[in-house]
């Protein structure tokens, strides 16, 4: 076990320093591999010497413990990476996971707010009066109009935003950089927010013009500290509750709004408007096109929804009366 722990730590250091994985990713790998190492120890197996059937047995145990298919596949991905590293650096001759397939997962479309829903949600800070209206409106619109991940929004620095406040350079997953763009609405919201941000910083003795270090973070708390990922999540959740209360029964499906919903909505709206999927991939910072292509499925679902609501035949299929088009019986 001692040798295994040393190998695990060496591998985690490798993916952080060489592969450029974020701290959150490294922590997730650590949790997955520690659980796997404990399983091996309890069954008298040295993880670095495990046979394919022993890895498969572990994966089967996770499923038996009611781990979701997504969680099981994530654990399997962590284990695969560990064995690939062992083979690459000649610490093992074969990869026991090479023939193992992922657990089949149900197709789950991402949660999306359609254009009217998104407009209603973005306007909530102006009327809700629950947090910091100027900051929250700018935060929601910046996240939606640029398709940002929650971690990217939390680390968004004034120094990385253009002087015109219409674009920004973002460092995403794996240290990959890309440019994102802010809509006029988002830009105006940021312009309105900045004086309030400056007033908060000045009140606690910080020069708001300082554009280096932590003080350059665009979105801050009322105490002047950079807003955290959990803080952003709490803000979105707070307004989601307001949205649900104000629009109860108006929108179908009882949608659960979370930070990633804004990114999903950004991508879906672009695809619906005819934007090339590869361009959407670039704007989202996806390394794989298949990840982006799921938004084409959402688009198809939207087409079905519009068809069902608009086409005369579709309308008539939902009624039990005489079938009519333009007042005439078929």
Longest alpha-carbon distance in the chain: 82
- CB contact at 8 A, 101 and 72: no
For residues 68 and 66, what is the distance between their CA atoms, to the nearest angstrom?
Answer: 6
295 has catalytic annotation: yes
Residue 317's Cβ-count burial label (10 Å; 0-12, 13-18, 19+) is exposed
For residues 150 and 206, what is the distance between their CA atoms, to the nearest angstrom?
Answer: 26
Other residues' Cβ atoms within 10 Å of the Cβ of residue 300? 12
Other residues' Cβ atoms within 10 Å of the Cβ of residue 37? 20
53 has catalytic annotation: no
Catalytic residue among 260, 294, 297, 315: 260
Catalytic residue among 11, 29, 239, 295: 295
Catalytic residue among 92, 137, 187, 263: 263
Catalytic residue among 149, 187, 197, 269: 149
Beta partners for 167? 181
Distances (CA, A) of 268 to 80, 111, 279: 32, 10, 13
Other residues' Cβ atoms within 10 Å of the Cβ of residue 292? 21
Two tokens, residue 305: 């929804």
For residues 118 and 262, what is the distance between their CA atoms, to the nearest angstrom?
Answer: 8
304 has catalytic annotation: no
- The pairing of strands 177-181 and 167-171 is antiparallel
260 has catalytic annotation: yes
For residues 223 and 25, what is the distance between their CA atoms, to the nearest angstrom?
Answer: 29
Catalytic residue among 35, 84, 173, 294: 173
36 has catalytic annotation: no
149 has catalytic annotation: yes
- CB contact at 8 A, 127 and 239: no
Residues identified as active-site? 149, 173, 260, 263, 286, 295
């Amino acid at each position: 076990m001692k040798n295994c722990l040393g190998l695990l730590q060496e591998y985690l250091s490798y993916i952080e320093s060489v592969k450029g994985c974020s701290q959150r990713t490294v922590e997730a790998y650590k949790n997955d591999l520690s659980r796997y190492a404990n399983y091996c120890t309890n069954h008298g197996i040295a993880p670095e010497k495990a046979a394919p059937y022993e890895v498969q047995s572990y994966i089967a145990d996770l499923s038996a413990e009611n781990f979701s298919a997504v969680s099981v596949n994530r654990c399997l991905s962590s284990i695969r990476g560990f064995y690939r590293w062992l083979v690459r650096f000649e610490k093992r001759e074969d990869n026991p996971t090479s023939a193992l397939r992922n657990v089949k997962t149900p197709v789950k479309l991402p949660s999306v707010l359609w254009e009217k829903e998104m407009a209603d949600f973005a306007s909530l800070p102006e009327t809700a009066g629950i947090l910091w209206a100027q900051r929250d409106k700018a935060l929601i619109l910046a996240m939606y109009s640029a398709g940002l991940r929650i971690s990217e929004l939390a680390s968004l620095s004034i120094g990385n935003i253009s002087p015109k406040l219409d674009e920004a350079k973002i460092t995403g997953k794996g240290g990959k950089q890309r440019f994102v763009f802010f809509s006029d609405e988002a830009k105006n919201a940021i312009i309105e927010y900045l004086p309030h941000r400056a007033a908060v910083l000045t009140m606690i003795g910080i020069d708001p013009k300082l554009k280096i270090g932590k003080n350059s973070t665009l979105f801050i708390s009322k105490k002047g500290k950079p807003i955290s990922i959990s803080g952003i999540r709490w803000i979105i959740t707070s307004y989601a509750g307001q949205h649900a209360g104000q629009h109860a029964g108006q929108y179908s499906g009882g949608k659960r709004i979370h930070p990633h919903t804004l990114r999903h909505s950004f991508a879906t709206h672009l695809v619906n408007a005819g934007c090339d999927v590869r361009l959407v991939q670039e704007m989202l910072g996806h390394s794989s096109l298949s990840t982006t292509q799921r938004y084409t499925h959402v688009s198809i679902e939207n087409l079905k929804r519009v068809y069902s609501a608009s086409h005369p035949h579709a309308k008539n299929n939902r009624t039990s009366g005489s079938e009519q088009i333009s007042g005439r019986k078929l």
